[in-house]
Chains A and B, each alone.
Chain A
Amino acid sequence: MSLDISFIGILIGSIMASSVPLILAASGELITERSGVLNLGVEGMMIIGAISGFALMVITDNLFIAIVGSMLSGVIISLIFGFLTQSLLTNHVATGLALTIFGIGLSAMLGKNFVGIPGKEFPILFSSLKESIPFFGPILFGHSIVLYFAFALPFLTNYFLKKTKLGLIVRAVGDSPVSASNQGINVILVRYCCILYGGAMCGLAGAYLSLIYTPQWIENMTAGRGWIALALVVFATWSPIKVLIGALIFGGITILQLHMQAIGFRIPVQFLSALPYLMTIIVLVVISRDSRKIKLNTPTSLGRIFYKEK
């Protein structure tokens, strides 16, 4: 193995690819949480997205339908969560956990007949540029459209939250649903929208895994990425840009430690495997220590049930 410059470029490209599902799921969950809803069902929504995307691809042979379908399935399953927590006022934590368990079980059942079917190649953009430019080629080019979308998403999310009226309303609802309601904002509707958006992004994140990253269906293929995405949102103190940084660090160290294991560093494998989790937490804690900023970004009403006085 040589550490030449083009290898590093390829390495960075693969790190970026591995962090896409985290960025998508975490960005979606971030909006949900910013509206004050704590949805622990990220893992469940991702895996449902993964199987429905893959199944639709096999059935329709159309990748576009597969991608859109995976997002819709994320919306549908998050609608269950939304109905339970917003309309029936169930506890967010318990409902979210149930959603994850439900999603994993349902996906395994639906996916029974799709195990072992080979995936379809997903079109990549600018593949000629990837080869022709050393170092920057594999970093900037030759990725799927979903990756470009994922990397734009944190910036779009940031813009949405900070600069748009709707973003302001989402933050307001997350800060104080009672005040928002007294201001005439339909809190339940805003929260429903945020939950469904989060569901769509988690669905897309799942589809990225089963259609693009490792194009096949394997039971439980999200392998805890939903939980990492959830943790990223918290450790990034609800800042979209920090979510991106955290996802890249996590993806980066995951891949680097695999290489280190392969090379045979004299470090216990268990430690190397734990490294991504450890480093992500450390870095995010260090970059998020301004307690004043944390206070401003944290949705005050997170996880609390809101009901309207009658």
Chain B
Amino acid sequence: MATDLRISNISKIYPGCIANDNVSLQFKSGKIYALLGENGAGKSTLVKILSGVVSPDNGEVFLNEKNLKLSSPLDAKKNKIGMVFQHFNLFETLSVFENLSIDATEDNESLRVRVNEILKKYNFSIDLDVPVLNLSAGQKQKVEIIRCLLRSPKVLIMDEPTSVLTEQETEELFISLKKFCDEGILIIYITHKLKEVLSLCDEVAVMRKGKVVSVSQTQNERVETLANKMVGQKLAKIKKKINISKNKDEIFKVKHLNFYSDDPFETNLVNLNFSVKKGECLGIAGISGNGQNELFQILSGEIITPDTSIIFRNKEIAKLNPKQRREYLMAFSPEDRISQAAVPELKIYENVALNNFKSSNFFEKGLVNEKKIKEHSKKILSDFSVNTDNVELKSQFLSGGNLQKLILGRELITAPELLICYNPTWGLDVGAINYIHETLIKINDQEKSTILISTDTEELLKLSDRIAVIYKGKLSKIMPSEEVTPEKLGVLMGGGSID
């Protein structure tokens, strides 16, 4: 039976922001719909309304012309609306099967039979009896999807599903989604990634500042047209930069980097050797979980490995901790903005003060010089066009893009000679990504060096002068980026060889 979902004049106002402003949309089964928008455009609020988590101030939802009362998640479930949230709604300490059985109405035996049928049908391989915290992000998402499928949904809503997935997992997800669509499930796909919209979806609705600004067929759209609709202005194209670093001195040199861990969740690193020249960007590609975390932590000094030699500006720094390394003018931007780079509960200026120890006189005789820190923070906010000038704001209220700008600003204002960043544009929207990329290019233009560890091949090809691939803790040959193609990277990232 065909499904027809209609949203009519939905409004939701939060104190200080209109999340949804009179949104009306119509969806029909047999197609995959994209809901596209920057962070904060109101997509998430809309899907929260559809899934009953949040009730709208105004407006109605119709499923097959029946007016739905969605006042709790239970109502959405009863009406066969399934939802996979961006932040998984799983119980980490419970087993996969327990997670699935918690809202099941049948007994455990028949549930297990049904789950196994789904696993087989869609080719998912998940051990049902391990705790969810042992699963990869992709597997967790599959558990969420299975949970929805168990209720034979008419509508399946996916909220930014690929933000935590590797490229291969993303491909698998797309195959599954297309299958669901063929089976008559109406799919609404929320994202800010333009390429995904074009490769997966049939129709796209673009949201900006709480309003739907356009609805169109994806076949009539290109990346640029969608980006412009989403951002609301023409995006400047970033110039591919000219390699100026060929004959410069090496500023950073790593030799015999080995790392061995007993923890099965960590990756061992085997004899990594590389160097970075002045003004150069060294890209390190790889599918997440191949040792990037460990590499970043060793480079930043969070983990000290024996017998490793790290020479920075002609000094041996392998035994120094992160604070000492910063004093030698290294800077770091970790992958996890919320828990590693910033303290979400602290105010902006407090976060700025966190890693400026000696060079700045933020602290005098053990006391905090609040005035100085605030001035300094204001400068960062305006220099790096963060979307607020209120340094008293708690960092958790910044969007991902703004938080990343703040972190980069904090790191760069001390004029470091080497910046090491790990997935700096993870989960950001186009506008913010563009800005971060421009900033990173500017660093190189100023003869400072960067190491860019990233899982985003496009980003690597755009920004790096030389690229190496990390696979299972081993580093490939380092290649000049003009010799590298996305295909080559793909082969190396999958463990193949290209010679």
A182 at the interface (CB under 8 A from B): yes
Question: How many whole Å from A188's CB to the nearest CB in chain B?
Answer: 13
Question: How many whole Å from A217's CB to the nearest CB in chain B?
Answer: 42
Give the residues from 167 to 198 in chain A that come closer than 8 angstroms, CB to CB, to chain B.
Answer: 168-169, 171-172, 175-176, 178-185
A220 at the interface (CB under 8 A from B): no
Question: How many whole Å from A298's CB to the nearest CB in chain B?
Answer: 7
* B55 and A310 contacting across the interface, CB-CB below 8 Å: yes
* A168 and B93 contacting across the interface, CB-CB below 8 Å: no
Chain A residues with CB under 8 A of B89: 176, 178-179, 182-183
Question: How many whole Å from B69's CB to the nearest CB in chain A?
Answer: 14
Known: A179-B90, A183-B73, A296-B93. A172 touches B53 (CB 8 A): no
B357 at the interface (CB under 8 A from A): no
A309 at the interface (CB under 8 A from B): yes
B122 at the interface (CB under 8 A from A): no
* A176 and B92 contacting across the interface, CB-CB below 8 Å: yes
Docked pose: A183 CA to B51 CA in angstroms: 10
- Pick from A181, A182, A298: contact of B85, CB below 8 A: A182
- Pick from A168, A178, A296: contact of B131, CB below 8 A: A296
* A182 and B73 contacting across the interface, CB-CB below 8 Å: yes
Known: A168-B98, A168-B102, A309-B53. A184 touches B73 (CB 8 A): yes
B329 at the interface (CB under 8 A from A): no
* A183 and B103 contacting across the interface, CB-CB below 8 Å: yes
Secondary structure at chain B's binding surface: helix, strand, loop or mixed?
loop
* A297 and B103 contacting across the interface, CB-CB below 8 Å: no
B133 at the interface (CB under 8 A from A): yes
Known: A182-B73, A183-B103, A184-B74. A171 touches B54 (CB 8 A): no
Docked pose: A179 CA to B90 CA in angstroms: 6
Question: How many whole Å from B179's CB to the nearest CB in chain A?
Answer: 25
A295 at the interface (CB under 8 A from B): yes
Question: How many whole Å from A31's CB to the nearest CB in chain B?
Answer: 16
B423 at the interface (CB under 8 A from A): no
Docked pose: A24 CA to B88 CA in angstroms: 36
Known: A183-B103, A184-B74. A295 touches B133 (CB 8 A): yes
Docked pose: A298 CA to B90 CA in angstroms: 16
Closest to B132 in A: A175
Give the residues from 65 to 111 in chain B that come closer than 8 angstroms, CB to CB, to chain A.
Answer: 72-74, 77, 85, 88-94, 98, 101-103
Docked pose: A124 CA to B383 CA in angstroms: 79
- Sort chain B's interface into a size bin: 20 to 34
Closest to B48 in A: A309
Chain A residues with CB under 8 A of B54: 309-310
Chain A residues with CB under 8 A of B90: 176, 179
Chain A residues with CB under 8 A of B131: 296
Chain A residues with CB under 8 A of B98: 168, 171-172
* B94 and A175 contacting across the interface, CB-CB below 8 Å: yes
* B93 and A171 contacting across the interface, CB-CB below 8 Å: yes
Question: How many whole Å from A160's CB to the nearest CB in chain B?
Answer: 14
Docked pose: A300 CA to B94 CA in angstroms: 11
Task: Kindly supply a per-residue 1/0 record for chain A positions 234-253, scoring 1 wherever the CB is within 8 Å of any chain B CB and 0 otherwise.
Answer: 00000000000000000000
* B102 and A172 contacting across the interface, CB-CB below 8 Å: yes
Give the residues from 115 to 172 in chain A that come closer than 8 angstroms, CB to CB, to chain B.
Answer: 165, 168-169, 171-172
Docked pose: A298 CA to B73 CA in angstroms: 26
* B53 and A182 contacting across the interface, CB-CB below 8 Å: yes
Docked pose: A300 CA to B48 CA in angstroms: 24
Closest to B98 in A: A168
Chain A residues with CB under 8 A of B72: 184
Closest to B95 in A: A296
Chain A residues with CB under 8 A of B91: 171-172, 175-176, 179-180
Docked pose: A176 CA to B55 CA in angstroms: 21
Chain A residues with CB under 8 A of B77: 184
* A168 and B73 contacting across the interface, CB-CB below 8 Å: no
Chain B residues with CB under 8 A of A185: 102-103
Question: How many whole Å from B48's CB to the nearest CB in chain A?
Answer: 8
Question: How many whole Å from A303's CB to the nearest CB in chain B?
Answer: 15
* A172 and B85 contacting across the interface, CB-CB below 8 Å: no
Question: How many whole Å from B172's CB to the nearest CB in chain A?
Answer: 24
* A183 and B102 contacting across the interface, CB-CB below 8 Å: yes
Question: How many whole Å from B379's CB to the nearest CB in chain A?
Answer: 36
Docked pose: A309 CA to B56 CA in angstroms: 12
* A181 and B73 contacting across the interface, CB-CB below 8 Å: yes
Closest to B91 in A: A175
24 CB contacts below 8 A, A to B, read A165-B102, A168-B102, A169-B102, A171-B98, A172-B94, A172-B98, A172-B102, A175-B91, A175-B94, A176-B90, A176-B92, A179-B88, A180-B91, A182-B51, A183-B102, A184-B72, A184-B77, A184-B103, A185-B103, A295-B133, A297-B93, A309-B54, A310-B54, A310-B55
Top 5 A-B residue pairs of the complex, sorted by shortest distance between their CB atoms: A184-B74, A179-B89, A175-B91, A172-B91, A182-B89
List 13 extra interface pairs beyond A184-B74, A297-B93, CB under 8 A.
Answer: A168-B98, A168-B102, A171-B93, A172-B102, A175-B93, A176-B91, A179-B88, A180-B91, A182-B53, A182-B73, A185-B102, A296-B93, A298-B93
Question: Which chain B residues have a beta carbon within 8 Å of chain A's beta carbons?
Answer: 48, 51, 53-55, 72-74, 77, 85, 88-94, 98, 101-103, 131, 133
